Amino acid sequence: MNSYLKLFLSSLLLINCNCADNKVDAEDEIIGPDLGSNTGNITIPGSVTKGEFFDDFNYESPSDPEFTSFGWKVRSDNYGPGISGQGGSWSPSNISFIDDGETNKVVKLKANTMGTAASTVSSELFTTRKFGVGTFAARVYFYNAPESDLDLIGDLPVQTFFTIADPSKGEIDAYCEFDFEYLPNGGWGTNPNTLFSTSWETVSNNTGDNYTQDQEGWHTLVIQIDFDSTRYYVDGDLKYTHYAPYVVDGVMSVNFNLWFINIDTENETERVWSQMIDWVYVRPGKMLTPTQVNESLDKLRNDNLERIDSTTL
């Protein structure tokens, strides 16, 4: 047998043996490798690849120096999406930090309207843009109704947790976005109580899934993002997987916002919608299962850490 052919066949045998030896069971806790320890094309240039980012949101207000020094920003413009870009606005005054009734604080986002675009005010907070491949998690509280008893079917709020790389901001080169969006009154052709998971390759090309189920209450949301796929978990259950090209290709921020797709213009009584966030956690370069995320959170809280950012390139 030709020596080159022998070498080729031997290589195939070695690869097959290695694959068999390293096969990962579907229920194995380790979903992916430590991408941050590798080099080459597995990282997004300019993104952090090591360490961890955690915030328990124990602040006094959006103007708290510790809040801003940790890298958080809040929106205060009149651009979209939704009614906010049609005469509405975003305001830091719609973001507060409230006691949870125990020993903790949570973020409270509000969006309010009196049936006109000018009276519609939304809220958003987001991190510095520095994340790429990794695991993104947050504990959020979704609401099915506004704080007042007036729940109008024409009001279509969106409660969110997402990551985004947006070249329109002039900071990075490529667009991508990965969303959890809860629509308690429906919208975009869906029924009420619909939770969307959407992955964007460009501003006009996306793939998404959704399901209808009452989501009012606390939920742990996890997004695993790498170069092959994006995976969405709700309370430990894998809901959807989206494959390339709907994967990361830009440096992203972590965002939470609350806004209206549309509003009921027939009623001028004020309606105030809310969303709460308990904590956010990011592990660059690693694909953590929801169980591993919870274990990491337990360790941080056992160490009495309110926040930490040890992320590096």
User: Each residue of 109-139: pLDDT tens digit?
Assistant: 999 999 999 999 999 999 999 999 999 999 9
Residues 78, 83, 85, 87, Cα dihedral to 10°: -60
Among 50-59, 98-107, 239-248, the range scoring the smallest mean pLDDT is: 98-107
Residue 86 lies in a domain: yes
Dump pLDDT digits (tens) for 246-259. Answer: 999 999 999 999 99
Which residues face 229 on adjacent strands?
Answer: 243
- pLDDT band for 42, please (50, 70, 90 cuts): low
Dump pLDDT digits (tens) for 45-57. Answer: 899 999 999 999 9
Residue 7 has pLDDT above 80, yes or no: no
- pLDDT band for 10, please (50, 70, 90 cuts): very low
- Domain containing residue 262: 48-309
Residue 9 lies in a domain: no
- DSSP letter for each residue of the chain: --HHHHHHHHHHHHHHHHHHHTPPPTT-S--S-BGGG--STTS-TTSB-BS-EEE----S-TT-HHHHHTT-EE--S---SGGGGTT-EE-GGGEEEEE-SSS-EEEEEEEEESSSSTT-EEEEEE--S-B-SEEEEEEEEE-SS-SSS---TT-EEEEEEEEEE-GGGSS-S--EEEEEEEETT-BTTB-SSEEEEEEEEETTEEEEEEEE----EEEEEEEEE-SSEEEEEETTEEEEEEETTSS--S-BEEEEEEEEEE--TT--S-EEEEEEEEEEEEEETB---HHHHHHHHHHHHHTT-SEEE--B-
pLDDT value at residue 83: 98
Task: Enter the tokens of residue 74.
Answer: 């809040």
pLDDT value at residue 102: 77
Among 52-61, 147-156, 182-191, 274-283, the range scoring the smallest mean pLDDT is: 147-156
Which residues face 126 on adjacent strands?
Answer: 73, 255
Dump pLDDT digits (tens) for 22-32. Answer: 332 333 333 44
pLDDT value at residue 191: 97
Residue 38 lies in a domain: no
Among 37-46, 134-143, 300-309, the range scoring the smallest mean pLDDT is: 37-46
Q: Could you give the CA distance from residue 9 to residue 4 in angstroms, rounded to a whole number?
A: 9
Q: Phi and psi dihedrals of 244, rounded to 5?
A: -50, 140
pLDDT value at residue 103: 75
Q: Please report, for residues 31, 52, 156, 282, the alpha-carbon distance to residue 288 in angstroms, rounded to integers and kept in the order given.
A: 7, 12, 33, 10
CB atoms within 10 A of CB 23: 8
Which residues face 232 on adjacent strands?
Answer: 223, 240
Residue 173 lies in a domain: yes
Work out the average pLDDT over 205-230: 97
Q: Phi and psi dihedrals of 85, rounded to 5?
A: -100, 10
Residue 220 has pLDDT above 60, yes or no: yes
Work out the average pLDDT over 285-294: 97
Exposure of 244 by Cβ count < 10 A (0-12 exposed, 13-18 middle, 19+ buried)?
A: middle
C-alpha radius of gyration, the chain, whole number: 21
pLDDT value at residue 237: 98
Residue 27 lies in a domain: no
Among 3-12, 221-230, 233-242, 295-304, the range scoring the smallest mean pLDDT is: 3-12
Mean of per-residue pLDDT scores for the chain: 87
pLDDT value at residue 31: 44
Domain count, the chain: 1
Residue 170 has pLDDT above 70, yes or no: no
Here the CATH number for the domain that contains residue 192 is: 2.60.120.200
Residue 3 lies in a domain: no
Residue 165 lies in a domain: yes
Dump pLDDT digits (tens) for 177-217. Answer: 999 999 999 999 999 999 999 999 998 999 999 999 999 99
pLDDT value at residue 63: 96
- pLDDT band for 173, please (50, 70, 90 cuts): low
Residue 36 has pLDDT above 50, yes or no: no
Task: Enter the tokens of residue 31.
Answer: 């979903």
Residue 12 lies in a domain: no
Residues 74, 278, 269, 86: is their CA dihedral positive or negative?
Answer: positive
Work out the average pLDDT over 265-288: 97
Omega within 30 of 0 (cis) for the link into 157:
no
